[in-house]
Protein backbone atom coordinates (compact mmCIF):
# COMPACT_ATOMS: atom_id res chain seq x y z
CA UNK A 1 0.00 0.00 0.00
CA UNK A 2 2.74 2.46 0.94
CA UNK A 3 4.85 1.52 -2.09
CA UNK A 4 1.94 1.75 -4.53
CA UNK A 5 0.75 5.11 -3.23
CA UNK A 6 4.24 6.61 -3.39
CA UNK A 7 5.14 5.12 -6.77
CA UNK A 8 7.88 2.85 -5.38
CA UNK A 9 8.79 -0.49 -6.86
CA UNK A 10 6.70 -3.48 -5.77
CA UNK A 11 8.54 -6.04 -7.91
CA UNK A 12 11.46 -6.65 -5.58
CA UNK A 13 13.82 -4.72 -7.86
CA UNK A 14 15.13 -1.70 -5.99
CA UNK A 15 16.37 1.47 -7.59
CA UNK A 16 18.53 3.37 -5.08
CA UNK A 17 18.84 7.08 -5.74
CA UNK A 18 21.78 9.38 -5.14
CA UNK A 19 19.45 12.00 -3.66
CA UNK A 20 16.29 10.17 -2.56
CA UNK A 21 13.23 12.30 -1.72
CA UNK A 22 12.33 12.86 1.92
CA UNK A 23 9.07 11.49 3.29
CA UNK A 24 7.81 12.71 6.64
CA UNK A 25 5.45 10.70 8.83
CA UNK A 26 3.08 12.71 10.99
CA UNK A 27 3.22 10.61 14.14
CA UNK A 28 1.24 11.07 17.35
CA UNK A 29 2.71 7.94 18.92
CA UNK A 30 -0.61 6.12 18.57
CA UNK A 31 -0.84 2.64 17.00
CA UNK A 32 -1.84 3.82 13.52
CA UNK A 33 0.87 6.40 12.95
CA UNK A 34 3.54 4.38 14.77
CA UNK A 35 2.80 1.34 12.59
CA UNK A 36 2.96 3.59 9.51
CA UNK A 37 6.34 4.95 10.62
CA UNK A 38 7.70 1.43 11.08
CA UNK A 39 6.44 0.23 7.69
CA UNK A 40 7.72 3.34 5.92
CA UNK A 41 11.14 3.01 7.61
CA UNK A 42 11.56 -0.29 5.77
CA UNK A 43 11.50 1.51 2.42
CA UNK A 44 14.31 3.80 3.54
CA UNK A 45 16.59 0.76 3.68
CA UNK A 46 16.13 0.31 -0.09
CA UNK A 47 17.65 3.70 -0.86
CA UNK A 48 14.66 4.95 -2.85
CA UNK A 49 13.46 7.39 -0.17
CA UNK A 50 14.56 8.98 3.07
CA UNK A 51 12.08 8.84 5.94
CA UNK A 52 11.72 11.30 8.81
CA UNK A 53 8.91 12.20 11.18
CA UNK A 54 7.17 15.09 12.86
CA UNK A 55 5.60 14.71 16.30
CA UNK A 56 3.14 17.48 17.10
CA UNK A 57 2.60 18.26 20.78
CA UNK A 58 -0.86 19.84 21.04
CA UNK A 59 -0.47 20.40 24.81
CA UNK A 60 -3.97 18.99 25.32
CA UNK A 61 -3.05 16.18 27.71
CA UNK A 62 -1.00 16.00 30.93
CA UNK A 63 2.64 15.19 30.19
CA UNK A 64 2.09 15.79 26.48
CA UNK A 65 5.72 16.91 26.19
CA UNK A 66 6.86 13.62 27.70
CA UNK A 67 4.67 11.63 25.32
CA UNK A 68 6.09 13.56 22.36
CA UNK A 69 9.67 13.02 23.53
CA UNK A 70 9.18 9.28 24.03
CA UNK A 71 7.52 8.97 20.64
CA UNK A 72 10.42 10.81 18.98
CA UNK A 73 12.91 8.49 20.71
CA UNK A 74 11.04 5.42 19.48
CA UNK A 75 10.95 6.81 15.94
CA UNK A 76 14.69 7.44 15.95
CA UNK A 77 15.14 3.86 17.13
CA UNK A 78 13.27 2.74 14.01
CA UNK A 79 15.82 4.59 11.90
CA UNK A 80 13.78 7.66 10.98
CA UNK A 81 15.83 10.81 10.46
CA UNK A 82 15.23 13.67 10.89
CA UNK A 83 12.65 13.53 13.69
CA UNK A 84 11.18 16.80 14.90
CA UNK A 85 8.96 17.59 17.86
CA UNK A 86 6.82 20.68 17.31
CA UNK A 87 4.83 22.23 20.12
CA UNK A 88 1.77 24.20 19.06
CA UNK A 89 -0.62 26.61 20.75
CA UNK A 90 -4.26 26.09 19.83
CA UNK A 91 -6.25 29.03 18.54
CA UNK A 92 -9.93 28.47 19.25
CA UNK A 93 -11.80 30.24 16.48
CA UNK A 94 -15.34 28.99 16.89
CA UNK A 95 -14.77 25.51 15.47
CA UNK A 96 -14.24 23.61 18.74
CA UNK A 97 -11.11 22.01 20.23
CA UNK A 98 -10.83 19.25 17.61
CA UNK A 99 -10.88 21.76 14.76
CA UNK A 100 -8.35 23.95 16.57
CA UNK A 101 -6.05 20.96 17.11
CA UNK A 102 -6.38 19.90 13.48
CA UNK A 103 -5.58 23.38 12.21
CA UNK A 104 -2.53 23.66 14.47
CA UNK A 105 -1.34 20.18 13.53
CA UNK A 106 -1.49 20.78 9.80
CA UNK A 107 0.16 24.15 10.26
CA UNK A 108 3.06 22.44 12.03
CA UNK A 109 3.29 19.69 9.40
CA UNK A 110 3.22 22.22 6.56
CA UNK A 111 6.01 24.23 8.20
CA UNK A 112 8.16 21.15 8.80
CA UNK A 113 7.73 19.98 5.20
CA UNK A 114 8.80 23.39 3.90
CA UNK A 115 11.83 23.65 6.17
CA UNK A 116 13.03 20.10 5.51
CA UNK A 117 12.14 19.99 1.82
CA UNK A 118 9.86 16.97 2.19
CA UNK A 119 8.16 15.61 -0.92
CA UNK A 120 5.27 14.01 1.00
CA UNK A 121 3.78 13.90 4.49
CA UNK A 122 2.25 10.55 5.42
CA UNK A 123 -0.72 10.29 7.80
CA UNK A 124 -1.87 7.12 9.56
CA UNK A 125 -5.64 7.29 9.05
CA UNK A 126 -7.29 3.89 8.60
CA UNK A 127 -10.50 2.56 7.06
CA UNK A 128 -12.13 2.86 10.48
CA UNK A 129 -11.28 6.58 10.56
CA UNK A 130 -12.79 6.91 7.09
CA UNK A 131 -16.04 5.23 8.13
CA UNK A 132 -16.28 7.45 11.20
CA UNK A 133 -15.79 10.55 9.03
CA UNK A 134 -18.62 9.53 6.71
CA UNK A 135 -21.00 8.96 9.62
CA UNK A 136 -20.03 12.29 11.19
CA UNK A 137 -20.69 14.01 7.87
CA UNK A 138 -24.13 12.39 7.70
CA UNK A 139 -24.93 13.36 11.29
CA UNK A 140 -23.96 16.97 10.67
CA UNK A 141 -25.85 17.24 7.39
CA UNK A 142 -22.65 18.01 5.52
CA UNK A 143 -22.14 18.10 1.77
CA UNK A 144 -20.45 15.83 -0.75
CA UNK A 145 -16.90 16.79 0.18
CA UNK A 146 -17.46 15.88 3.83
CA UNK A 147 -19.16 12.58 2.94
CA UNK A 148 -16.23 11.80 0.64
CA UNK A 149 -14.07 11.57 3.73
CA UNK A 150 -10.31 11.64 3.42
CA UNK A 151 -8.47 11.14 0.14
CA UNK A 152 -5.60 8.69 -0.20
CA UNK A 153 -3.54 11.44 -1.81
CA UNK A 154 -4.27 15.14 -1.74
CA UNK A 155 -1.56 17.70 -2.35
CA UNK A 156 1.34 17.22 0.03
CA UNK A 157 -0.46 14.59 2.11
CA UNK A 158 -0.86 10.85 1.59
CA UNK A 159 -2.76 8.26 3.65
CA UNK A 160 -1.40 4.80 2.79
CA UNK A 161 -3.44 2.97 5.46
CA UNK A 162 -6.96 3.87 4.30
CA UNK A 163 -7.47 0.25 3.20
CA UNK A 164 -6.28 -1.13 6.55
CA UNK A 165 -8.46 -1.71 9.60
CA UNK A 166 -7.41 -0.35 12.99
CA UNK A 167 -6.93 -3.89 14.33
CA UNK A 168 -4.29 -4.46 11.65
CA UNK A 169 -2.20 -1.49 12.77
CA UNK A 170 -2.35 -2.81 16.33
CA UNK A 171 -1.16 -6.17 15.01
CA UNK A 172 1.79 -4.49 13.26
CA UNK A 173 2.79 -2.80 16.51
CA UNK A 174 2.61 -6.11 18.40
CA UNK A 175 4.59 -7.95 15.73
CA UNK A 176 7.35 -5.33 15.78
CA UNK A 177 7.24 -4.99 19.59
CA UNK A 178 6.43 -1.29 19.38
CA UNK A 179 4.91 0.56 22.33
CA UNK A 180 2.17 2.85 21.06
CA UNK A 181 0.63 5.62 23.13
CA UNK A 182 -3.12 5.38 23.61
CA UNK A 183 -4.62 8.87 23.68
CA UNK A 184 -7.13 9.09 26.57
CA UNK A 185 -9.21 11.47 24.43
CA UNK A 186 -10.08 8.45 22.26
CA UNK A 187 -12.10 7.11 25.18
CA UNK A 188 -13.73 10.40 26.15
CA UNK A 189 -17.44 10.12 25.37
CA UNK A 190 -17.85 13.88 25.32
CA UNK A 191 -16.42 13.81 21.78
CA UNK A 192 -18.90 12.92 19.04
CA UNK A 193 -16.27 10.96 17.10
CA UNK A 194 -15.60 8.78 20.15
CA UNK A 195 -19.32 7.99 20.51
CA UNK A 196 -19.46 7.10 16.81
CA UNK A 197 -16.44 4.82 17.23
CA UNK A 198 -17.53 2.99 20.37
CA UNK A 199 -21.32 3.08 20.11
CA UNK A 200 -22.67 3.84 16.64
CA UNK A 201 -20.38 1.76 14.41
CA UNK A 202 -20.59 -1.38 16.61
CA UNK A 203 -24.40 -1.03 16.63
CA UNK A 204 -24.50 -0.71 12.84
CA UNK A 205 -22.18 -3.68 12.43
CA UNK A 206 -24.42 -5.78 14.67
CA UNK A 207 -27.60 -4.73 12.83
CA UNK A 208 -26.35 -4.42 9.24
CA UNK A 209 -23.43 -6.81 9.15
CA UNK A 210 -19.70 -6.61 9.87
CA UNK A 211 -18.92 -5.17 6.42
CA UNK A 212 -20.55 -1.82 7.23
CA UNK A 213 -17.16 -0.15 7.74
CA UNK A 214 -15.97 -1.29 4.32
CA UNK A 215 -19.25 -0.13 2.76
CA UNK A 216 -18.97 3.34 4.27
CA UNK A 217 -15.37 3.62 3.09
CA UNK A 218 -16.38 2.51 -0.40
CA UNK A 219 -19.11 5.16 -0.48
CA UNK A 220 -16.51 7.76 0.47
CA UNK A 221 -14.30 6.69 -2.43
CA UNK A 222 -17.19 6.99 -4.91
CA UNK A 223 -18.26 10.38 -3.58
CA UNK A 224 -14.66 11.55 -3.63
CA UNK A 225 -14.56 11.41 -7.43
CA UNK A 226 -17.80 13.41 -7.63
CA UNK A 227 -16.54 15.98 -5.13
CA UNK A 228 -13.25 16.38 -7.02
CA UNK A 229 -15.08 17.22 -10.24
CA UNK A 230 -17.40 19.70 -8.54
CA UNK A 231 -14.46 21.33 -6.76
CA UNK A 232 -12.60 21.67 -10.06
CA UNK A 233 -15.61 23.32 -11.70
CA UNK A 234 -16.12 25.61 -8.70
CA UNK A 235 -12.45 26.65 -8.72
CA UNK A 236 -12.82 27.65 -12.35
CA UNK A 237 -15.92 29.73 -11.55
CA UNK A 238 -14.18 31.36 -8.59
CA UNK A 239 -11.27 32.34 -10.82
CA UNK A 240 -13.68 33.74 -13.38
CA UNK A 241 -15.94 35.87 -11.15
CA UNK A 242 -14.14 36.60 -7.86
CA UNK A 243 -12.24 39.80 -7.19
CA UNK A 244 -9.69 39.24 -4.41
CA UNK A 245 -8.26 42.26 -2.58
CA UNK A 246 -5.49 43.09 -2.15
CA UNK A 247 -4.01 41.57 -5.29
CA UNK A 248 -0.38 42.59 -4.67
CA UNK A 249 0.80 39.40 -2.97
CA UNK A 250 -0.29 40.40 0.53
CA UNK A 251 -2.77 38.27 2.47
CA UNK A 252 -6.25 38.72 0.95
CA UNK A 253 -8.65 40.74 3.07
CA UNK A 254 -11.75 40.73 0.88
CA UNK A 255 -13.46 38.69 -1.83
CA UNK A 256 -16.16 40.32 -3.96
CA UNK A 257 -18.62 38.25 -5.98
CA UNK A 258 -21.09 39.78 -8.47
CA UNK A 259 -24.59 38.93 -7.29
CA UNK A 260 -26.25 38.20 -10.59
CA UNK A 261 -23.44 35.94 -11.79
CA UNK A 262 -23.29 34.13 -8.46
CA UNK A 263 -27.06 33.69 -8.39
CA UNK A 264 -26.90 32.18 -11.88
CA UNK A 265 -24.57 29.35 -10.87
CA UNK A 266 -25.92 25.88 -10.16
CA UNK A 267 -26.48 25.50 -6.38
CA UNK A 268 -23.66 22.94 -6.02
CA UNK A 269 -21.19 25.36 -7.62
CA UNK A 270 -22.55 28.47 -5.88
CA UNK A 271 -22.08 26.94 -2.42
CA UNK A 272 -18.56 25.83 -3.27
CA UNK A 273 -17.61 29.27 -4.58
CA UNK A 274 -18.86 30.79 -1.31
CA UNK A 275 -16.95 28.22 0.73
CA UNK A 276 -13.76 28.81 -1.28
CA UNK A 277 -14.10 32.56 -0.66
CA UNK A 278 -14.11 31.93 3.09
CA UNK A 279 -11.09 29.60 2.94
CA UNK A 280 -9.14 32.00 0.67
CA UNK A 281 -9.58 34.63 3.39
CA UNK A 282 -8.13 32.32 6.02
CA UNK A 283 -11.42 31.18 7.52
CA UNK A 284 -12.44 27.62 8.31
CA UNK A 285 -14.48 25.48 5.95
CA UNK A 286 -17.99 26.77 6.73
CA UNK A 287 -20.92 24.56 7.65
CA UNK A 288 -23.88 24.12 5.34
CA UNK A 289 -25.93 26.26 7.74
CA UNK A 290 -23.51 29.19 7.47
CA UNK A 291 -23.28 28.82 3.71
CA UNK A 292 -27.07 28.84 3.50
CA UNK A 293 -27.20 32.04 5.57
CA UNK A 294 -24.73 33.73 3.21
CA UNK A 295 -26.62 32.47 0.16
CA UNK A 296 -29.84 33.89 1.59
CA UNK A 297 -28.36 37.38 1.22
CA UNK A 298 -28.76 36.93 -2.52
CA UNK A 299 -32.53 36.77 -2.12
CA UNK A 300 -32.54 40.48 -1.13
CA UNK A 301 -35.04 39.84 1.64
CA UNK A 302 -34.44 41.24 5.09
CA UNK A 303 -30.97 42.03 6.34
CA UNK A 304 -28.02 42.77 4.08
CA UNK A 305 -25.73 41.18 6.67
CA UNK A 306 -23.17 40.74 7.94
CA UNK A 307 -23.36 36.96 8.29
CA UNK A 308 -20.55 35.56 10.41
CA UNK A 309 -18.82 32.61 8.73
CA UNK A 310 -16.41 30.11 10.28
CA UNK A 311 -13.36 31.99 11.50
CA UNK A 312 -12.94 35.75 11.33
CA UNK A 313 -14.80 36.08 8.03
CA UNK A 314 -18.14 37.80 7.50
CA UNK A 315 -20.38 38.09 4.45
CA UNK A 316 -22.65 40.99 3.53
CA UNK A 317 -24.45 42.42 0.54
CA UNK A 318 -23.70 45.72 -1.15
CA UNK A 319 -26.70 47.01 -3.05
CA UNK A 320 -26.69 48.41 -6.57
CA UNK A 321 -27.52 51.83 -5.15
CA UNK A 322 -24.47 51.91 -2.90
CA UNK A 323 -21.19 53.47 -4.00
CA UNK A 324 -18.39 50.92 -4.11
CA UNK A 325 -14.83 52.27 -4.49
CA UNK A 326 -13.55 49.30 -6.47
CA UNK A 327 -16.43 49.09 -8.91
CA UNK A 328 -18.03 52.52 -8.93
CA UNK A 329 -21.72 53.07 -8.34
CA UNK A 330 -24.64 50.99 -9.49
CA UNK A 331 -23.13 47.56 -8.78
CA UNK A 332 -24.59 44.79 -6.61
CA UNK A 333 -22.29 42.22 -5.09
CA UNK A 334 -21.74 39.86 -2.22
CA UNK A 335 -18.64 40.69 -0.21
CA UNK A 336 -16.74 38.42 2.18
CA UNK A 337 -14.24 40.17 4.42
CA UNK A 338 -11.69 39.02 6.95
CA UNK A 339 -11.52 41.02 10.17
CA UNK A 340 -8.10 41.92 11.51
pTM above 0.85? no
User: 3-class DSSP state for residue 219?
Assistant: helix
pLDDT in tens, 221-255: 999 999 999 999 999 999 999 999 875 556 778 99
* Apex 94 CA angle, 93 and 100, nearest 5: 55
pLDDT confidence of residue 329 = 39
Mean pLDDT (the chain) is: 87
Question: What was the pLDDT predicted at 328?
Answer: 45
Low-confidence winner among 73-82, 86-95, 106-115, 323-332 (lowest mean pLDDT)? 323-332
Q: Which residue would you say has higher pLDDT here, 54 or 101?
A: 54
Q: Is residue 84 over pLDDT 90?
A: yes
The CATH superfamily holding the domain 2-219 is: HUPs (3.40.50.620)
**Confidence at residue 332, expressed as pLDDT on a 0 to 100 scale:** 80
For residue 113, name the pLDDT band (cuts at 50, 70, 90): very high
Buried b (16+ CB within 10 A) or exposed e, 290-309: bbebbbebbeeeeeebbbbb
Whether the predicted pLDDT of 323 surpasses 50: no
Q: How many residues appear in the chain?
A: 340
Tens of pLDDT along 130-146?
999 999 988 877 778 88
Give the percent of the chain with pLDDT over 90: 60
| Residues flagged as binding site | 28-33
Is the pLDDT assigned to residue 300 strictly greater than 50? yes
Query: Which residue ranges make up the annotated binding site for ATP?
Result: 28-33
d(CA 130, CA 10): 26
Amino acid sequence: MVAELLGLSTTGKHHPLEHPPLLLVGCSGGPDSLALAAVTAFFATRGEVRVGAVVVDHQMQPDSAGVAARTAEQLRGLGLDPVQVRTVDLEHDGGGPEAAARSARFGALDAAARELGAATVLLGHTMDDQAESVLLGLARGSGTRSLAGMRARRGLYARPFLKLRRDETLAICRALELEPWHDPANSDGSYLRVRVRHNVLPFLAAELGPAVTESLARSAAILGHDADLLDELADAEFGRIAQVLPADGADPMEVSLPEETLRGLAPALRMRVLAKSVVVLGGLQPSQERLGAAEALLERKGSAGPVQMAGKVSAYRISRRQAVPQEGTGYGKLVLRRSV
